[in-house]
Amino acid sequence: MSYLSKVRAIVWKDVRAELRTKDILSSMLVFAGLTVLIFQFAFDLRASVIQLVLPGVLWIAITFAGVLGLNRSFVLEQDRGSMEGLLMAPMDRSAIYFGKLIGNLLFIFAVELVLLPLMTVLYNMSLLSPSILLVVFLGTIGYAAVGTLFAALSINTRAREVMLPILLFPVMIPVFVAGVQATARLLDGESLAEIARWVQLLLAYDGIFIAAAMILFDYVVEE
C-alpha cells in the first residue's frame, strides 16, 4: 500500500531526526521526572498515603510531558517552512496526520516506558501489570489523536505553544478521568472486567477522535 508506505516514511523521518538530536525525548523525559518530583513535595505532608494519589500523578506526568512532544512535532515543520514540502507531496493529507500521530505516540510511549518502572520502584507499587499497560496504551492513543490535530491547529495561532494545552485539556478530560480511575481501581486489585466501562470509554474516545481528526486534518492544513 503506497498510502501506508508514505505514513511510514513520515514516521521514519521524524524518528530518525529525533534519534539524532534527542531534543524532544530528552525534554519530555526530564519534564515527566520533574512532575513526579514536584508532586512528591506537593502531597507529602497532607496525603498520608502517597500511593493513593499515584494514579493522578502518573497521568499528569504523561499529560504534561505529552504536550511538549505534541507541540514540537509541528513547530519544527513550521519553523523550517518544511510543512509546504509535506503538503506538496502526492498523497492524501491525512497521511501527514497519521505519520505525525504515530511519531508522537512512539515518543510518548518511550517516555512511559521509563516513567512506569521509575514510579513502580519509587513508590513500591506495581504499575507494570498488563491491565494497567493496556489502560495507559489506550489513553495515550486518544490523547495523542486529539493532541496531534490540535498541535497542527495551534501552530497557526499567535500564541502557538501556549495555545495547545488550553485547547487540548478541556477536550481530553474523558481520557484523563478514565485513565486515572481505571489505573486506581486496577491498583486496588479490581479486575479488567470490573473496569470494563472505563476501557470501553477509552476505546470509544480513541475511535471517535481518530476518525474526526482524519476528516478534519485536511481543513487544518489548507491555505
Partner 1 sequence: MTAHKRSGRETFWMVFTGITGVLILIGVYMSLIWAPTALNLPTVNEQLAQRVFYFHVSAGWVGYVAFGVTAVASVLYLIKRSRRFDNLAVSSAEIGVVFTAANLVSGSIWARPTWNTWWTWDDPRLTLAAIVLMVYIAYLMLRNAIDDPERKARLASIYGIVGFISVPLSFVSVRIWRTIHPAVIGTASASSQGGFDMSGNMVITLLFSIFTFSLLYFVLLHYRLCLEDQRVELEEYKMAVMADS
Partner 2 sequence: MIAIEKLIKAFGRKPVLKGIDLSVPAGQSVALFGPNGAGKTTLIRIIAGLSKHTSGSVKLGGQEVQQAGHGLRRHIGFVSHNPLLYDSLTAEENLIFFGRLYEVPELSQRINVVLDRVGLLHRRKDLVRTFSRGMIQRLTIARSILHNPPILLLDEPDTGLDQQAADMLRGLLLDIGASDRTVLLTTHNLERGLEWADRALILNGGKIRYDSLTDNLTPAEFRQVYTDVVATVPTIGKEPASS
Binding site for partner 1 (CB under 8 A): 146, 149-150, 153-154, 156-159, 163, 166-167, 169-174, 177-178, 181, 197-198, 201, 204-205, 208-209, 212-213, 216, 219-220, 222
Return the one option of partner 2, partner 1, none that residue 48 interacts with (CB less than 5 to 8 A, by type). none
In whole angstroms, what is the distance from residue 196 CA to residue 201 CA? 9
How many residues make up the chain in this entry? 223
Which residue from 196, 84, 82 is spatially nearest to 138, judged by alpha carbons? 196
Return the one option of partner 1, partner 2, none that residue 190 interacts with (CB less than 5 to 8 A, by type). none
Comparing CB distances to partner 1, the nearer of 5 and 157 is 157
When binding is defined by CB under 8 A, the residue of 1, 2, 49, 130 that contacts partner 2 is 2
For 46, residues 6+ apart whose C-beta sits below 8 A from its C-beta are none
- 13 binding partner 2? (CB under 8 A): yes
Return the one option of partner 1, partner 2, none that residue 170 interacts with (CB less than 5 to 8 A, by type). partner 1
Q: With left for phi above 0 and alpha for psi between -120 and 50, is residue 47 left, alpha or beta?
A: beta
Number of H helices, E strands in the chain: 9, 0
- Please, what is the Cα angle at 50 between 63 and 41, to 5 degrees? 70
Residues of this chain that interact with partner 2 (CB under 8 A) are 2, 5-6, 8-10, 12-13, 16-18, 20-21, 80-82, 84-93, 222-223
